[in-house]
């Protein structure tokens, strides 16, 4: 069964158990999905309302475009949540391969390396796509229902949490690949994503706080 088809209670019970999955990677995907869904709620309570109706047609078109993308981001995050689990379980299977002979050890080492690289993919993609999603939040920051600014801020906070969590999940695999040519490229990319995410999250939350809780 896919995680997204489980009840919240069932997912949390599995998360807190001794099962190999769900784990941190799955949680990162779920957090990103929650960020997207909360942002979509702001769209739902903005589109069609008086302020929206009075906008120029080109502005409405922009909002409609980003509303669709917001829903797509939520679904995409759930997909990456499942991919992360599948890749992690394959990596665990690689560690269980026999190592009795030289050929066994050679095959096991190769399988572990290949699946370690594969295990970085979902969290790295999630971090990248989550960083891009800040542009969507900015649309709601500009046009969204002002009564929902607190929800928008929480969406930004969740988005950053998903990014930071994803980066941790990349690093735990990347650490064993320091001899690979791509190591420093990915390491530098992770640092850049983190720096940009902190900046974007702070811009949104500070702007929201200036409205909902001024002079703080």
What's the CA gap between 44 and 52, in Å, rounded? 11
Domain that holds residue 98: 23-211
Burial label, 169 (beta-carbon count in 10 A; 0-12, 13-18, 19+): buried
117-141: pLDDT as tens digits: 999 999 999 999 999 999 999 999 9
**This prediction's pTM:** 0.94
Would you say residue 216 lies in a domain?
no
Would you say residue 18 lies in a domain?
no
Would you say residue 116 lies in a domain?
yes
Would you say residue 5 lies in a domain?
no
What's the CA gap between 180 and 152, in Å, rounded? 40
- Peptide bond before residue 72 is cis, with ω within 30 degrees of 0: no
7-61: pLDDT as tens digits: 899 999 999 999 888 889 999 999 999 999 999 999 999 999 999 999 999 999 9
Q: What is the DSSP letter of 48?
A: T
User: Which pLDDT score is estimated for 6?
Assistant: 81
The domain spanning residue 90 has which CATH number? 1.20.120.680
Would you say residue 17 lies in a domain?
no
Would you say residue 10 lies in a domain?
no
pLDDT at 5 over 90: no
Structural domains in the chain (count) = 1
Would you say residue 11 lies in a domain?
no
Is the Cβ–Cβ distance between 173 and 180 less than 8 Å?
no
Would you say residue 149 lies in a domain?
yes
Integer distance in angstroms from the first to the last C-alpha of the chain?
47
User: Which pLDDT score is estimated for 54?
Assistant: 94
């Amino acid at each position: 069964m896919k995680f997204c088809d489980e009840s919240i209670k069932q997912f949390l019970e599995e998360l807190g158990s001794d099962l190999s999955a769900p784990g941190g990677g799955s949680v990162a995907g779920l957090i990103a999905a929650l960020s997207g869904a909360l942002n979509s709620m702001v769209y739902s309570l903005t589109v069609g309302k008086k302020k929206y109706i009075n906008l120029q047609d080109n502005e409405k078109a922009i909002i409609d475009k980003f509303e669709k993308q917001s829903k797509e981001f939520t679904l995409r995050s759930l997909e990456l949540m499942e991919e992360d689990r599948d890749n992690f379980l394959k990596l665990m299977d690689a560690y269980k391969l026999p190592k009795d002979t030289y050929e066994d050890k050679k095959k096991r080492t190769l399988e572990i390396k290949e699946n370690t690289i594969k295990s970085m993919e979902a969290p790295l993609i999630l971090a990248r796509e989550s960083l891009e999603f800040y542009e969507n939040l900015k649309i709601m920051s500009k046009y969204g229902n002002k009564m929902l600014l607190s929800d928008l801020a929480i969406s930004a906070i969740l988005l950053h949490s998903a990014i930071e969590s994803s980066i941790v999940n990349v690093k735990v695999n990347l650490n064993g690949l320091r001899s690979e040519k791509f190591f420093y490229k990915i390491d530098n990319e992770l640092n850049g994503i983190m720096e940009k995410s902190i900046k974007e999250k702070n811009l949104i939350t500070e702007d929201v706080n200036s409205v909902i809780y001024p002079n703080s």
